[in-house]
Amino acid sequence: MPLWPFRRKPLNFREAFVQGSVALQKGRIRRALKLLKQAVALKPDHVEARVNYGSALYVSGRIEEAEAQFGAALEFDPENPYAMSNLATIYYRKGNVERAIELLEEVVRKYPDHPDVNYNLAAAYTALGDFGRARAHALREL
């Protein structure tokens, strides 16, 4: 009697999102990309899925695609601090430090306890040579 190959039904949104997010946390980027792309396709308005997919794209060096995901997340939730912070990181990486600072300052105003925002502001102000502001934000991060 022949064996039948195992067939897995397609993942639903929740499975794709949770498994993709866990894969991202564990550094399994290829798996995260596949699952989070599927999650976004199943539920395009889910902000956290877009942010996590954008993060996986960023880590894999697909900067333009990551920027598009963070931008799309902000269309659904214009004040999402994770999408704002991650988009600022892309602006910084592309050399638009001033725009990165604008976005990060907005995050720190609205969400003063948001993780790493003061660290990122310190790095951005250092890049501009504004060591006073860089120091102030570095101290807030501690």
Q: Mind listing the pLDDT tens digit for each residue in 48-58?
A: 999 999 999 99
Q: Which amino acid is at 121?
A: L
Question: Mean of the pLDDT values across residues 129-138?
Answer: 97
Torsion over CA of 10, 14, 15 and 19, rounded to 10 degrees? 130
CATH code for the structural domain at 11-78: 1.25.40.10
Q: Is pTM beyond 0.85 here?
A: yes
Q: Where in the chain is the domain with CATH 1.25.40.10?
A: 11-78, 79-142
How far, CA to CA in Å, does 78 sit from each of 81, 82, 83, 111, 121?
Answer: 9, 11, 9, 13, 20
CB distance 53 to 67 below 8 Å: no
User: For a pLDDT cut of 90, what percent of the chain falls above it?
Assistant: 90
Residue 1 has pLDDT above 70, yes or no: no
CATH code for the structural domain at 79-142: 1.25.40.10
Residue 38 has pLDDT above 80, yes or no: yes
